[in-house]
Amino acid sequence: MKTELLSRIESPFDLRTFTDQELQQLAGEIREALCNVVSTRTAHFASNLGVVELCIALHLVFDFTTDRLIWDTGHQIYPHKLITGRFHEFPTIRQKGGLMGYPNPHESPYDLFMTGHAGSSVSTVLGLKAGDDLLAQSHRRAVAVIGDGALPSGIVFEAMNNAAGLQKDMLVILNDNKMGICPRVGGLARYLDQARTAPFYDDIKREVSRMLNKVPIVGDAVERVLSQAKDAVKASLHGGMLFEEMGFRYIGPIDGHDLKTLREYLTMIKDVQGPVLLHVFTEKGHGFAPACEDPVRFHTPPPFERREDEVVAVKKSSSRAYTDLVSDAIYNAMARDSRVCVMTAAMCEGTKLGKIRTDFPDRFFDTGICEGHAVAFAAGMAKAGMRPVVDIYSTFLQRSYDQIFQEVALQNLPVTFCLDRAGVVGADGPTHHGAYDNTWMRVFPNMVVMAPGDELDVAPMLDFSLTYPGPVSLRYPKTNIEVVDRSVAPVELGQAEVWEWGADGMLIAFGTLFGTCVKAALQLRSEGLDVGVINARFLKPLDADTICRAVSEAGFVVTVEESALMGGFGSAVLETANAAGLRTDNIHRLGVPDRYIDHADRSEQLAELSLDVDGIVSTAIRASTRVQLARQEESFS
């Protein structure tokens, strides 16, 4: 791989020694480095290809050892990592012990926040600026780069409103590539589309660049350029100058792949007072034709083989995941019942709702990256008599916690929450684990909380949720489906399913680790311990009879969940046993402890948490040993 310049960069200051031609070469080398690594593993790709020039220009014009830079979401951070001293580690990205696929302050002072959720950059940059001002650090400039997909998030407008009110000196760069993961949707999308087509823009660009080239770009001249640009933009956007009206100075749009223009504009506006929005047009996948042609697929492609600028093969997986089953179950429910509709928050691809979008366009709703709105919107639909399914990753649903509480649970409305990626998620790491929903869902009165034990539970649970007269949360992890050999009991509210009883111990699984528990029980039996397994199915209402029987009759109980231990399923078992007056010292809980779990393969993470067969077996053996020692002590005394 040709990375002559890239390999010489130790800090972004090295860029300043490069000629214009070398900077162009550097952009090519960064794309080459991205292609080489991303082709070997699933990782963010097209978004990174699209910000190469913008990233170089930012580091040339600003000094981010003192100035502040936040890449919204953080999935487009790879070029930034490459030029902030992490080129040599880059091949380790998203692997256990290697670089994270998102900004990580533990890796570099150039990464300020560990993020992976969209929309918060403008708020944090405003906070940095306000803090710096109060701490006599006003010289520190503040920059947020936000995509047009993240822009409609409510929090962005909260922050812009606040920034305009405070009139803080800060720069928001709108990286407009017409895409979220899928093509952008909604009214703001249409608004931005107008800027692409407005013929008048060419004139503004010509005029602004003429002035930039002609006049010394300081003081009054800058003001003149900016106000002319503003008037021109106002006219071209049919009087709807959203950003200007909100109190931001709007500049652009400019070509985000033209390094010279980017540098000129950034240099011109970096010391402009008050909040400024620079509108930059980029192309998702720029510089790698297959990614430009299919940016949806190349947002996070599976490993692929390439020859030069061509993809010759993409590694395909034939296995089906829980996501596939849930999407099929929703599809079937929609086919049966015209009241069933589905909401996604810009994650149609990830939640595999594409066929539903095509076949039921009037009952498929993509709200954009607006989880809070999606939930309140579903509440309205439920109140109107529909049966909405909110299909959102567990981690992103956190954004809508208050709407789950007030608009849904408090009103006892029949909304089904499908929590995808609930559990550990592998290479995305701490920002993306769906590790907390057991805890936060179960605390709301009216909420039913359930999880399928295996493939056979999925459709019956989804169907159950659509007949239940209140809110239901259904969680499932990012993994391939599994079937546990058994005669399946029907899904009934608050009923667990007993695989087999065991006198020495019982493993109680909430979720798809049921199969792992069965394997562990079989291994324990082969080692002489009589261990049984329960597929809990419901965390709320918990099957108190079955759980209490296990706690009182078996020597020990191990609860197994892919979620935070604090307040989760195991806690519910402890609470139930305690309320029934049972002893609880024989209950052992496996799950996610009170710390963040680093990125790694999902299987590595499960092993680290003792949520694999070995971990469950050794926990059970330790529990059994304790029981035996206690019995011996009792017999001696």
Tell me which residues are annotated as active site. Answer: 284, 371, 399
The CA radius of gyration of the chain, in Å to the nearest whole number, is 27
Least Å distance, CB 291 to ligand TPP, is 12
How many residues does the structure list for the chain?
637
Least Å distance, CB 239 to ligand TPP, is 26
CB nearer ligand TPP, residue 242 or residue 621:
242
CB nearer ligand TPP, residue 100 or residue 204:
100
CB nearer ligand TPP, residue 176 or residue 455:
176
Cα-to-chain-centroid distance, residue 327? 19
61 is a site residue for ligand TPP (CB under 6 A): no
Q: Positive or negative, the Cα torsion across 549, 555, 561, 564? A: positive
- Binders of ligand TPP among residues 132 to 151 (CB under 6 A) are 147-150
- Binders of ligand TPP among residues 209 to 238 (CB under 6 A) are none
Least Å distance, CB 370 to ligand TPP, is 9
Contact 510, 561 (CB under 8 A): yes
Which of 39, 47, 516, 571 is the binder for ligand TPP (CB under 6 A)? 47
52 is a site residue for ligand TPP (CB under 6 A): no
CB nearer ligand TPP, residue 181 or residue 375:
181
Contact 423, 437 (CB under 8 A): no
CB nearer ligand TPP, residue 393 or residue 514:
393
118 is a site residue for ligand TPP (CB under 6 A): yes
471 is a site residue for ligand TPP (CB under 6 A): no
442 is a site residue for ligand TPP (CB under 6 A): no
**How many Å apart are CA 398 and CA 41, to the nearest integer?**
28
475 is a site residue for ligand TPP (CB under 6 A): no
179 is a site residue for ligand TPP (CB under 6 A): yes
Least Å distance, CB 315 to ligand TPP, is 22
**How many Å apart are CA 37 and CA 166, to the nearest integer?**
43
- Binders of ligand TPP among residues 156 to 175 (CB under 6 A) are 175
284 is a site residue for ligand TPP (CB under 6 A): yes
Least Å distance, CB 390 to ligand TPP, is 13
Least Å distance, CB 454 to ligand TPP, is 27
CB nearer ligand TPP, residue 395 or residue 576:
395
Contact 1, 45 (CB under 8 A): no
Which of 304, 331, 396, 476 is the binder for ligand TPP (CB under 6 A)? 396
Q: Are strands 448-450 and 340-344 parallel, antiparallel or unpaired?
A: unpaired
Least Å distance, CB 326 to ligand TPP, is 17
- Binders of ligand TPP among residues 75 to 114 (CB under 6 A) are 75-76
Contact 513, 607 (CB under 8 A): no
Rounded-to-10 torsion of CA 36, 352, 354, 464 = 180
Find the DSSP H helices in 153-285. 154-166, 187-197, 200-214, 219-236, 242-246, 259-269
Which of 117, 442, 540, 599 is the binder for ligand TPP (CB under 6 A)? 117
CB nearer ligand TPP, residue 300 or residue 512:
300
372 is a site residue for ligand TPP (CB under 6 A): no
Residue pointed to by tokens 């077996």: 617
* SS3 category, 593: coil
CB nearer ligand TPP, residue 55 or residue 251:
55
Q: CB neighbours (10 Å) of residue 599?
A: 27
Least Å distance, CB 371 to ligand TPP, is 6
177 is a site residue for ligand TPP (CB under 6 A): yes
Contact 411, 383 (CB under 8 A): yes
Least Å distance, CB 172 to ligand TPP, is 13
253 is a site residue for ligand TPP (CB under 6 A): no
**How many Å apart are CA 490 and CA 468, to the nearest integer?**
15
Residues 6+ positions from 337 with CB-CB distance below 8 Å: 387, 466
How many residues sit close enough to ligand TPP to count as binding (CB under 6 A)? 25
Which of 399, 421, 478, 537 is the binder for ligand TPP (CB under 6 A)? 399
Which of 180, 287, 515, 555 is the binder for ligand TPP (CB under 6 A)? 180
Residue pointed to by tokens 């989880």: 371
CB nearer ligand TPP, residue 102 or residue 499:
102
DSSP 50-119: HTHHHHHHHHHHS-TTTSEEEESSSTT-HHHHHHTT-TTTGGGTTSTTS--SS--TTT-TT--S---STT
- 18, 232, 414 from 384: Cα distances, Å: 62, 45, 11
Site string for ligand TPP, 63-82 (x = CB under 6 A): ----------x-xx------
Least Å distance, CB 425 to ligand TPP, is 12
CB nearer ligand TPP, residue 334 or residue 345:
345
The 587-592 sheet, strands edge to edge: 497-500, 531-535, 505-510, 556-564, 587-592
Least Å distance, CB 193 to ligand TPP, is 14
Nearest to 56 by CA among 76, 21, 83, 90: 83
Which of 346, 408, 554, 623 is the binder for ligand TPP (CB under 6 A)? 346
CB nearer ligand TPP, residue 243 or residue 514:
243
**How many Å apart are CA 208 and CA 202, to the nearest integer?**
10
Find the DSSP H helices in 454-610. 455-467, 514-526, 544-553, 569-579, 602-608
**How many Å apart are CA 428 and CA 432, to the nearest integer?**
6
What residue ranges bind ligand TPP (CB under 6 A)?
47, 73, 75-76, 116-119, 147-150, 175, 177, 179-181, 284, 345-347, 369, 371, 396, 399
